[in-house]
Amino acid sequence: MTPDQVKQRFRQRGETFSHWARMNGYRVNQVLRVLNGFDKGHYGKAHEIAVKLGLKPNVDSAA
């Protein structure tokens, strides 16, 4: 999915990014940086967030 598609999905469900971040143990700022392209999600927490949001495939389940 693209970041815009993820944002649209959140709007359709009426869920906020801050709520999602808290429920998944991330800081809101981290989630927003991934969604807005400041953190590319190549490794670390940014990668975890990108996978959970559906921006990147989960390589563990693809194997």
Say how many C-beta atoms besides its own lie within 10 A of residue 35's C-beta: 20
Angle at 10 (CA atoms; ends 6, 12), nearest 5 degrees? 115
pLDDT in tens, 5-40: 999 999 999 999 999 999 999 999 999 999 999 999
Angle at 52 (CA atoms; ends 58, 49), nearest 5 degrees? 105
pLDDT in tens, 39-63: 998 999 999 999 999 999 987 765 4
Which residues have a Cβ under 8 Å from the Cβ of 45 and sit 6 or more positions away? Answer: 26, 30
Q: Is 60 exposed, middle or buried (0-12, 13-18, 19+ CB in 10 A)?
A: exposed
Whole-prediction pTM = 0.87
For 44, the token pair is: 């670390």
